[in-house]
């Protein structure tokens, strides 16, 4: 993958610095972690759900943190008490810790999280402030006469 130079766009855009920094910081696809697998789905006009496969993790071993346009999900397995009593002939179940980060758009907040059948569900909602929502402007059938404001001229002082 080639590196893309966003310098020309910096000259003609205002307020998109975070987007360009995000695109610049993305490395090749081979460097992005693939564990644990996850889905991102739109469940409504302003609602989303992230589902992560975290089989083998308990609620106490998972942490979810949301701050300033970022959502971080961490998983750390506690040491098993009977690990000394058994010897593994084959270990195919991942026991490794993970940290997965998601970039959130403006006004997107975590609504709830639940763990069921080895799947962690994180529900997100976009709360757009009333001032940011589109509004309909009515068109008047008759043109509105412009008001003229008359000002009095101050008398000139003679020196």
Name the one residue in this structure whose structure tokens are 């997965």.
100
Query: How do residues 128-150 score in pLDDT, each as one tens digit?
Result: 888 877 888 888 887 666 677 77
Of the candidates 29, 30, 27, 32, the residue with the CA atom closest to the CA atom of residue 3: 27
Q: Is 70 exceeded by the pLDDT of residue 10?
A: no
Name the one residue in this structure whose structure tokens are 């893309």.
4
Instruction: Count up the domains in the chain and report the number.
Output: 1
CB 71 within 8 A of CB 110: yes
Residue 159 lies inside a defined structural domain of this protein: no
Residue 63 lies inside a defined structural domain of this protein: yes
Name the one residue in this structure whose structure tokens are 């610049």.
24
Query: How do residues 52-71 score in pLDDT, each as one tens digit?
Result: 999 888 898 999 999 888 89
**Residue 100's CATH number:** 2.60.40.790
Residue 1 lies inside a defined structural domain of this protein: no
Which residues span the domain enclosing 123?
34-80+89-128
Q: How far apart are CA 98 and CA 74, in angstroms?
A: 6
Residue 146 lies inside a defined structural domain of this protein: no
Q: How far apart are CA 133 and CA 122, in angstroms?
A: 25
Q: How far apart are CA 70 and CA 159, in angstroms?
A: 69
Query: How do residues 80-132 score in pLDDT, each as one tens digit?
Result: 655 567 787 887 776 788 999 988 888 888 999 999 998 999 999 988 888 87
Name the one residue in this structure whose structure tokens are 């709360």.
127
54 C-beta neighbours (distance < 10 Å), count: 22
């Amino acid at each position: 993958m080639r590196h893309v130079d966003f310098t020309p766009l910096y000259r003609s855009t205002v307020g998109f610095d975070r987007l360009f920094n995000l695109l610049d910081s993305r490395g090749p696809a081979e460097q992005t972690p693939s564990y644990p697998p996850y889905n991102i789905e739109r469940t409504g006009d302003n609602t989303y759900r992230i589902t992560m496969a975290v089989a083998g993790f308990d609620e106490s071993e998972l942490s979810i943190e949301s701050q300033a346009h970022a959502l971080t999900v961490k998983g750390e397995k506690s040491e098993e008490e009977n690990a000394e009593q058994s010897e593994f002939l084959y270990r195919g179940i991942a026991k490794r810790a993970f940290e997965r980060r998601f970039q959130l758009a403006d006004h997107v907040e975590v609504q709830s999280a639940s763990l069921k059948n080895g799947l962690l569900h994180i529900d997100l909602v976009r709360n757009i402030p009333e001032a940011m929502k589109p509004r309909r402007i009515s068109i008047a059938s008759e043109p509105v006469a412009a008001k003229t404001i008359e000002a009095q001229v101050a008398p000139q002082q003679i020196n």
